[in-house]
Structure formats: C-alpha cells, structure tokens
C-alpha cells in the first residue's frame, strides 16, 4: 500500500504531461506538494508508451512510487495508433506497475459509455467492431485493467472523464473547440436540439482527487470513478451563454436538425477532398466524429464519487462559474496567436508594453536600452 509519511517523499511518473489534464496535474503537484510528492513528466522522446523497452528502462532507472497515465492518441487517429497508444500503452504501463507493486492511476473516457442519463460506473458499451477507434481502445483498456486487478493483483484506479473544461488546452479540442467556434463566429446556428444534457469535468479539481486517491489506496484500489460535476449541462443553453459573454451575433437560436447537420458535414468533407487535388489542405474538426452526441443526452452519475471519502474542494465551481475566467484566458491567447479577431476589444485593456510595441516601438526600445540591459547581478558572481 502506498503511504506518505513525514520521513518519505513520494516520487511518481506522469505520462502525458503536455496535455490539458496532464499539465494541470503536473502544475498542482509542483506547487502544492513539493516537499511530500514529486512528479517526473518525461516527454515522449524520453519515454514512449508504445515501446516496452522504453517503459522498462525508464521505470527501472527511476523506481517511482506510483504512475499516472493521461496520454491519449488524437480522437480521430487511425486504427493502429489508437490501439498502440490508448490500449497497448495503458497495458504496458499496467504490467510495469504490477511488477513494481505500485499504484497506477488511469484516465478513461465517457466515450466508453452509451447515451442515457445517470449512467453508473458499471455501465459500458458492448465491445463491437463498429465502435470508433478511440472508444474501442479506451474500452479495451478498462476491461484489461479490471482483468489484471483480478488475476495479477494490479493496484489501479480508473477515472472516467466527460466533457473537460479548464485553462491551458493549447490544442483547441473538445469543449474548447466549441468555445473557439463561437468566438470565431463560425457556428451559424445550434447544431443540437433542445434539452440535450451532458456531464462536464472540471480539470482544476482533478489533481485534488488524484492526491486523495494516492493517499487512500485501500478505498480506491481496483475501482472506477466518474469524475464529473454534480449537475449536467444543457448544451444549447451553454452555447447561448458563451455567445452572450463574447457579445457575438452567432450562433442564431435556430436548431439544425441532425439529418441536415450530417448532410452538411458530408458535403464539407467532399469539398475538402476536392481542394486537396489542388494542393489545398483542410480538415473537418475531429470532434465531428461525435456529432450524434450533440443531439443525444449522456449524463454520468457522480453518486459513487460523492459517497467516497473525497471532499470536493470547490463545490460551487461549475462550467458556468468558470466561464468569465475562461473567456478572458482563451480570447487573450487566441488573439495573441492571431487565431481570432472578432470579439469586443473593450473586454481587454492594452498594457503599457502593448501600447509601446504597437504604436511607439522606437520609444520602447530606447527605454529598454536605458533601463533593462544590465547583466543579471546574481549570475555575475557564480563560481
């Protein structure tokens, strides 16, 4: 059993530290537990979970006390990549964790679940050939981890996530793709129908749960938990709320029927293939593979989580409560990257550096030359 005592600092390995979930976890432990729990977050160049030898060699050198795996292939990855990263990668890490007799925290997805309301941790889709590569590989990983727990004593916890929101999603995917489409005014109408509900996952709360799970292995070992906000979210209402925050004109409150949405997607796909013949590359957002889910309710029960010993550190924080901060963060980031420009400039104020760089670069340069080019004093005296 993993124990954290004043005399022992725990060392863990985090796989997938560059993503939204991994980056949030890494940042939490660096700032919250530097004296009691430390994480290594190797890049894929140092540790590829597609390579058994990489996993064995890295873990043999560093001998961690636990492993956290947040790595996933892109949701639209082809068959082999999804299989190797989402399934074989998770399996190989589990084999190493079982050999070292250390806890393994695995992240799964609501893609393993059918549509419906109040789905429990025991629910899952049947494993059939027609599942998407993403859903199939994540479901297979869940099934194998459960089997390894029963047969070889693997100490694991599987955490199923739904629609994740939070800062630092630099890839613009999932919820943030929806947010971006509204901010960029490329969503003319509502590609959903009334009263479609989904569960949402707060990325900022996740590290607190992982910390608790690591220190309470007896309760959480061999278990799957839905980590979602208590109340589901009405998709159309959320879209219109984001629209009001951004002060944009679209999407209009017009509901596009599902057959029309699928027809439009197919037409755009055909058009992009035609463009490709002229050397123009364009792709539909990978989230459109889940277009059907925009029209069907899927809510995950959080009852098992609420009945556990874990206490929500931010019980009042929901996606609606986070929207003001998310708006400022992502609009600032996307505008700085010249990805969008169609938002209300009054929401932001230029800093003195912004003003100088935009309108008076020579004055700014002269000021820096006068005040800010001296060598760093603390580095000058290094032996």
> What is the rounded CA–CA span in Å between residue 37 and residue 20?
20
Does the residue 326 lie in any domain? yes
Task: Give the structural domain span for 332.
Answer: 10-347
> What is the rounded CA–CA span in Å between residue 87 and residue 93?
10
Each residue's pLDDT expressed in tens, for the chain with a length of 383 residues: 565 555 678 999 999 888 889 999 999 999 998 889 999 988 888 888 888 888 888 888 889 999 999 998 887 788 888 899 999 899 989 999 999 999 999 999 999 999 999 999 999 999 999 888 899 999 999 999 999 999 999 999 999 999 999 887 566 667 888 888 888 888 888 889 999 999 999 999 999 999 999 999 999 999 999 999 999 999 999 999 998 888 888 889 988 887 887 776 666 556 556 555 556 555 545 555 557 788 999 999 999 999 999 999 999 999 999 988 888 888 887 777 777 755 555 455 555 555 566 667 777 677 767 766 677 666 666 66
Task: Note whether 102 and 114 are within 8 A (CB).
Answer: no
> What is the rounded CA–CA span in Å between residue 22 and residue 109?
15
The total domain count for the chain is 1
Does the residue 257 lie in any domain? yes
* Model confidence pLDDT, tens digit, residues 112-122: 999 999 999 99
Provide the residue count of the chain.
383
Does the residue 367 lie in any domain? no
Q: How many CA atoms lie within 13 A of 341 on its CB side?
A: 1
Largest Cα span, the chain: 71
H/E segment holding residue 116 = strand 116-119
Does the residue 362 lie in any domain? no
> What is the rounded CA–CA span in Å between residue 110 and residue 175?
14
Task: Note whether 30 and 57 are within 8 A (CB).
Answer: no
Does the residue 354 lie in any domain? no
Joined together, the tokens standing for residue 158 give 């599987």
> What is the rounded CA–CA span in Å between residue 131 and residue 116?
17
Cis peptide before 320 (omega within 30 of 0): no
Find where tokens 């029209």 sit: 295
Here the CATH number for the domain that contains residue 204 is 3.40.50.720
Does the residue 372 lie in any domain? no
Q: What are the angstrom distances between the C-alpha of 1 and each of 65, 66, 158, 244? A: 10, 11, 17, 50
Does the residue 192 lie in any domain? yes
Does the residue 313 lie in any domain? yes
* Model confidence pLDDT, tens digit, residues 62-92: 899 999 999 988 877 888 888 999 998 999 8
């Amino acid at each position: 059993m993993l124990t954290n005592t004043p005399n022992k600092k725990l060392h863990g390995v985090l796989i997938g530290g560059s993503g939204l979930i991994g980056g949030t976890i890494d940042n939490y432990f660096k700032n919250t537990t530097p004296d009691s729990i430390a994480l290594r977050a190797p890049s894929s160049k140092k540790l590829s979970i597609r390579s058994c030898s990489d996993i064995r060699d890295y873990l043999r050198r560093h001998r961690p006390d636990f492993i956290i795996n947040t790595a996933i292939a892109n949701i639209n990855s082809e068959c082999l990549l999804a299989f190797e990263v989402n399934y074989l990668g998770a399996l190989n890490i589990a084999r190493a964790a079982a050999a070292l007799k250390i806890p393994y925290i695995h992240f799964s997805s609501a893609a393993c679940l059918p549509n419906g309301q109040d789905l429990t941790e025991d629910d899952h889709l049947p494993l059939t050939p027609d599942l998407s590569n993403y859903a199939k590989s994540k479901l297979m990983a869940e099934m194998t981890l459960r089997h390894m727990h029963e047969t070889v004593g693997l100490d694991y916890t599987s955490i199923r996530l739904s629609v994740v929101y939070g800062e630092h999603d630099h890839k613009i995917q999932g919820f943030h793709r929806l947010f971006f489409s509204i901010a960029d005014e490329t969503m003319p109408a509502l590609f959903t129908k009334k009263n479609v509900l989904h569960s949402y996952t707060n990325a900022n709360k996740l590290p607190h749960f992982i910390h608790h799970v690591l220190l309470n292995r007896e309760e959480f070992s061999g278990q799957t938990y839905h980590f979602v906000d208590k109340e589901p979210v009405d998709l159309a209402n959320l879209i219109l709320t984001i629209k009001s925050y951004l002060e944009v004109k679209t999407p209009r409150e017009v509901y596009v029927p599902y057959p029309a949405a699928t027809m439009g997607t197919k037409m755009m796909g055909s058009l992009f293939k035609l463009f490709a013949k002229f050397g123009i590359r364009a792709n539909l957002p990978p989230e459109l593979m889940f277009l059907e889910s925009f029209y069907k309710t899927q809510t995950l029960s959080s009852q098992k989580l609420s009945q556990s010993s874990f206490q929500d550190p931010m019980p009042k924080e929901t996606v609606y409560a986070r929207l003001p901060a998310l708006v400022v963060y992502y609009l600032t980031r996307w505008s700085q990257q010249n990805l969008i420009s169609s938002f209300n400039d009054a929401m932001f104020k230029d800093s003195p550096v912004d003003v100088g760089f935009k309108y008076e670069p020579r004055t700014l340069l002269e000021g820096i030359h006068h005040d800010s080019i001296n060598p760093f004093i603390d580095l000058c005296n290094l032996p």
